[in-house]
Amino acid sequence: MGNVPSAVKHCLSYQQLLREHLWIGDSVAGALDPAQLSLLFSLHLFQKETSGFFINFYGTISCLHWETPQLSGLPEYVKIVEVGPRDGLQNEKVIVPTDIKIEFINQLSQTGLSVIEVTSFVSSRWVPQMADHSEVMKGIHQYPGVRYPVLTPNLQGFHRAVAAGATEISVFGAASESFSKKNINCSIEESMQKFEEVVKSARHMNIPVRGYVSCALGCPYEGTIIPQKVTEVSKRLYGMGCYEISLGDTIGVGTPGSMKRMLESVMKEIPPSALAVHCHDTYGQALANILTALQMGINVVDSAVSGLGGCPYAKGASGNVATEDLIYMLNGLGLNTGVNLYKVMEAGDFICKAVNKTTNSKVAQASFNA
Amino acid sequence: MLSEAGLPVIEATSFVSPKWVPQMADNAEVLKGIQKFPGINYPVLTPNIKGFQAAIAAGAKEVTVFGAASELFTKKNTNCSIEESLQRSDEILKAARAADIPVRGYVSCVLGCPYEGKISPAKVAEVTKKMYSMGCYEISLGDTIGVGTPGVMKDMLSAVMHEVPVAALAVHCHDTYGQALANTLMALQMGVSVVDSSVAGLGGCPYAQGASGNLATEDLVYMLSGLGIHTGVNLQKLLEAGTFICQALNRKTSSKVAQATCKL
């Protein structure tokens, strides 16, 4: 109702609305509750980085305003793991030039994000989008207080990553035999053995390892995946020494019910503080699934700015959940993320122009009056 | 096509002046022209008594009236205050009761207003209560500009549920900021069991150019099916209806399920 021109004239008040609703982490002086501080500290416990990281992180969060969550039972702080530069760009058709990738990551480093997955040390034969992994790793500015994990599918990739300056790595498992076979040409068991080698070397060098479990809520080949299988693979990775396991709804087929069942099973074996969710938005379910995970005590969520990365299993479909839309929800829930939404939107705008695509983020679509 | 998909309620048209909403100028022809399947309701919007009478003349068996939880929005949209708009609705409700016609009420801007910004849950509860006591059998609470998030949804519903039984409530979430399904999930968790949505996510947002509007029915049905909640809706047929209307409108679907399943 109402004609569009007069509505557009009121965009100014609409933008004010945005500012009112979107808590962007403006600094408000306030003492930190020691209990909250120790909670944060325990989330980022690394032997090597303890003192340095703690000091940097404390410096950052002392400026942040603490809001009481509006919903009880939700974590007070949510760590966002930004996978746009890796999972996102890996699944885009356009191969982004190295200097653009570096600028993109440098922009993300200034948004308040504390973890940014930079690249993947996988053979360029399989993933040409990530062929410039060493140059990107060496070229980015590593900001204090931000971590820059990289994917390392095997020992060779691990050594290259370390040579290029990586100080954190991730390994990718799957809860589906068929997916494992088609994706990395080996069984789940064989892949676990490879990862054991990598994790062992990493631990020897005091390099933290994050584990991923793909197809946690469904597989493009096998269909339904039973929660017990996800638990088994997660437990194996956790037992090897992965500090955190990211459970991925690789094809986005999950819904809050299947998310709940899967998490209930995994949480019997692995503490929620060591778990993360990586939801794809292929069927529009990502935020609802993430909300469910948060309600169950998970406080680490993966996302990609602008919802970068399509779905290789459903042509034309979307992939990663958009970081902007995730932050919008978390802000609205009164949860602290430390991330500046506007800066993330700027980085999203930058990369979308570079990749020549429209953003998949609804928040960005609503906010940038094209 | 929507009737064949198993949807129990399909809002057919709006008996508003074509001067304001030209897209609905053919309201009477549409209502007379559709096949009315047994067991399906076809409510129509009636902004005033004149529209109501035109709707009845065209065969309407259920009508809806629109209110808002924001004074500024009401002023800009219908050129009167909330109180005046409620009086207009009351006129319609009285006439509807006399004709044995059920009336559904809508409250706009329940989680935020493009002009006023934040809206207090108490205000939403106040307007909802008035519409319910006037005789609306159900009140649909609309996040008109999609700014809401699950916590705000919960607070608003808590306030409203103090005044109106949850069985008489529905949620109408817009997906302008991608929050619709998460907000709907929260509403379901609070006991709401009626949800408004639009096939293919039809309808943009007049307050944010280029932004999306309604929650896509396909995506909603997908979630509800996954949750084991019975809706009676056939997703395949729904997808077909969505494809049909998108082709007719020459636009892409806003439904992610449709995007993922379309083999084009």
Question: Which neighbouring-strand residues pair with B140?
Answer: B106, B170
* CB nearest B177 (choices: A20, A284, A328): A328
**Contact call for B219 and A370, based on CB within 8 A:** no
No. of helices (H) and no. of strands (E), chain A:
16, 8
The pLDDT score that the predictor gives to residue B262 is 67
Identify the closest residue of chain B to A329 by CA–CA distance.
Answer: B149
Confidence of residue A124 (pLDDT cuts 50, 70, 90): confident
Percent of chain A with pLDDT over 90: 71
- Which element (helix H / strand E) includes B51? helix B49-57
Is residue B64 predicted with pLDDT exceeding 70? yes
**Contact call for B184 and A10, based on CB within 8 A:** no
- Identify the weakest region by mean pLDDT among A31-40, A92-101, B73-82, B219-228: A31-40
pLDDT per position as a tens digit, B91-108: 999 999 999 999 999 999
Touching check for A358 and chain B: CB below 8 Å?
no
Question: Would you give the distance in Å from CA A68 to the centre of its chain?
Answer: 24
Confidence of residue B121 (pLDDT cuts 50, 70, 90): very high
Residue A304 tokens, joined: 């990609």
**Contact call for A332 and B148, based on CB within 8 A:** yes
The pLDDT score that the predictor gives to residue A309 is 87
pTM (two decimals) = 0.87
Residues B221 and A102: their CA atoms lie apart, in Å, by 41
**Arithmetic mean of pLDDT, B152-156:** 97
3-class state of residue B107 by DSSP: strand
**Contact call for A317 and B148, based on CB within 8 A:** no
**Contact call for A332 and B76, based on CB within 8 A:** no
Cα–Cα distance list, A323 to B18, B34, B184, B263 (Å): 41, 43, 20, 27
| CA neighbours closer than 13 Å in the CB half-sphere of residue B158 | 10
Question: Which neighbouring-strand residues pair with A170?
Answer: A151, A210
Residues A128 and A48: their CA atoms lie apart, in Å, by 33
**Contact call for B211 and A318, based on CB within 8 A:** no
Q: Which of A9, A291, A326 should we substitute to test contact with B (largest number of B Cβ atoms within 10 Å)?
A: A291
Domains of chain A listed by start with CATH number: 79-368 (3.20.20.70)
pLDDT per position as a tens digit, A347-356: 999 999 998 9
**Domain range annotation of chain B:** 7-232
Neighboring chain B residues of A224 at a CB cutoff of 8 Å: none
**Contact call for A1 and B78, based on CB within 8 A:** yes
Active site residues of A: 311
* CB nearest B181 (choices: A8, A284, A332): A284
- Which element (helix H / strand E) includes A177? helix A177-184
Residue B136 designated active-site: no
**Arithmetic mean of pLDDT, A137-152:** 97
Touching check for B146 and chain A: CB below 8 Å?
yes
**Taking a contact as any Cβ pair under 8 Å apart, which residues of chain A between 2 and 41 contact chain B?**
2-4, 6-8, 10-11, 13-14, 16-17, 20-21
Residues B51 and B56: their CA atoms lie apart, in Å, by 9
H helix runs in B99-255, sequence order: 121-134, 150-161, 180-189, 217-226, 235-249
Neighboring chain A residues of B225 at a CB cutoff of 8 Å: 255
pLDDT per position as a tens digit, A81-99: 999 999 999 988 888 999 9
Pick the more confident residue, B245 or B209: B245
Residues A168 and A220: their CA atoms lie apart, in Å, by 30
CB contacts < 8 A (A, B): 168
Pick the more confident residue, A368 or B180: B180
The pLDDT score that the predictor gives to residue B207 is 65
CB B137 within 8 A of CB B168: yes
Neighboring chain A residues of B146 at a CB cutoff of 8 Å: 366
The pLDDT score that the predictor gives to residue A311 is 75
Residues A365 and A367: their CA atoms lie apart, in Å, by 6
pLDDT per position as a tens digit, A237-288: 999 999 999 999 999 999 999 999 999 999 999 999 999 999 999 999 999 9
pLDDT per position as a tens digit, B166-195: 999 999 999 999 999 999 999 999 999 999
Touching check for B204 and chain A: CB below 8 Å?
no
* CB nearest B179 (choices: A285, A287, A311): A287
* CB nearest A288 (choices: B181, B261, B262): B181
- Identify the weakest region by mean pLDDT among A73-77, A196-200, B148-152, B156-160: A73-77
Residues B156 and B125: their CA atoms lie apart, in Å, by 8
The pLDDT score that the predictor gives to residue B30 is 96
**Contact call for B226 and A285, based on CB within 8 A:** yes
3-class state of residue B46 by DSSP: coil
Q: Which of B17, B110, B176, B181 should we substitute to test contact with A (largest number of A Cβ atoms within 10 Å)?
A: B181
Identify the closest residue of chain A to B263 by CA–CA distance.
Answer: A315
**Contact call for B150 and A71, based on CB within 8 A:** yes
Question: Could you report the predicted ipTM of this complex, rounded to two decimals?
Answer: 0.93
Angle at A32 between CA A28 and CA A33, to 5 degrees: 140
The pLDDT score that the predictor gives to residue A94 is 85
Touching check for B21 and chain A: CB below 8 Å?
yes
Touching check for A331 and chain B: CB below 8 Å?
yes
Neighboring chain B residues of A252 at a CB cutoff of 8 Å: 260
The pLDDT score that the predictor gives to residue B24 is 93
Confidence of residue B1 (pLDDT cuts 50, 70, 90): very high
* CB nearest B210 (choices: A282, A363, A370): A370
Is residue A52 predicted with pLDDT exceeding 50? no
Touching check for A119 and chain B: CB below 8 Å?
no
Question: Which neighbouring-strand residues pair with B195?
Answer: B171
- Cβ neighbours of residue A189 closer than 8 Å, sequence gap 6 or more: none
pLDDT per position as a tens digit, A290-338: 999 999 999 999 999 999 987 777 676 778 999 999 999 999 999 999 9
Confidence of residue A71 (pLDDT cuts 50, 70, 90): low
The pLDDT score that the predictor gives to residue A367 is 87
CATH of B7-232, one of 2.40.110.10, 3.40.50.720, 3.20.20.70, 3.40.50.2000: 3.20.20.70
Touching check for B156 and chain A: CB below 8 Å?
no
Identify the closest residue of chain B to A72 by CA–CA distance.
Answer: B151
Question: Identity (one letter) of the amino acid at A299?
Answer: N
Other beta carbons within 10 angstroms of residue B46's beta carbon come to 29
